[in-house]
Amino acid sequence: MASTHSGPGPGSTLASTSSSSSASNSALTPIVASERVFQWNDHAALWFSLGVGLLVMQIGAYLVPAVGSREAVIAILLGSVVGSGLLAWTARLGCETGLSSAGLMHATFGSKFGRLPVLLNMAQLIGWTTFELVIMRDATAGIGKQSFGLALGGLGGVAATTLLWGAVLVALLAGSMTKVVRKLISRVGLPLVVASLIWLTWQFGSQLQTQGLGAFWARPGDGSMGMLSAMDLVIAMPVSWLPLVADYARHGKSGRSAMSGTWLGYALANIWCYALGVLVVSVAQPDTDLVTALLMAQGGLMALSLILIDEIDNAYGDVYSCSVSGHSLKPRWSVRQWGIGVAVVCTALAMVLPMHSLEPFLLVLSSVFVPLFGVILGRLAMGSPDLSSSNRKVDWTAAGLWLVGIACYHLLGNFAPQWGSALPTLALTFTLAWLTRPATTTLQEVRV
Residue 445 lies in a domain: no
Query: Running along the chain, 448 residues long, what does each successive block of 10 average in pLDDT?
Result: 34 37 72 90 93 83 83 92 95 94 94 94 91 84 74 77 92 88 83 89 88 80 80 86 94 95 96 91 77 77 78 89 95 93 95 67 76 94 66 90 94 85 91 84 40
Q: Quick one: pLDDT at residue 359?
A: 55
Q: How many CA atoms lie within 13 A of 141 on its CB side?
A: 18
- Say how far residue 335 (Cα) sits from the centre of its chain: 19
Q: Which amino acid is at 260?
A: S
Instruction: Tell me whether residue 246 is in a domain.
Output: yes
- Amino acid code (one letter) for 361: F
Side chain identity at residue 163, one-letter code? L
Cα distance between residue 295 and residue 103, in whole Å: 43
Please give the tally of structural domains in the chain.
Answer: 1
Distance CA 44, CA 265 (A): 4
Residue 260, domain member (yes or no): yes
The predicted pLDDT at position 23 comes to 46
Give residue 200's identity as a one-letter amino acid code: L
- The answer to whether position 292 is within a domain reads yes
The pTM score is: 0.85
CA distance linking residue 50 with residue 312, whole number of Å: 9
The CATH number assigned to the domain holding 59 equals 1.10.4160.10
Q: What residues pair up with 15 in beta bridges, in sequence order? A: 4
Domain annotation covers residue 407: no
Distance CA 129, CA 356 (A): 14
Give me the domain span that covers residue 313: 37-363
Angle between helices 242-249 and 300-329 (to 10 degrees): 80
Q: Tell me how far CA of residue 132 lies from CA of 162, 258, 293, in angstroms.
A: 10, 26, 20
Distances (CA, A) of 342 to 26, 123, 129, 328, 364: 18, 11, 9, 15, 22
Asked, for residue 435, whether it belongs to a domain, the answer is no
pLDDT at 38: 94
Residue 395 covered by a domain: no
Q: What are phi and psi of 120, to 5 degrees?
A: -65, -40
User: Is residue 433 domain-resident?
Assistant: no
- Predicted confidence at residue 414, as pLDDT, reads 87
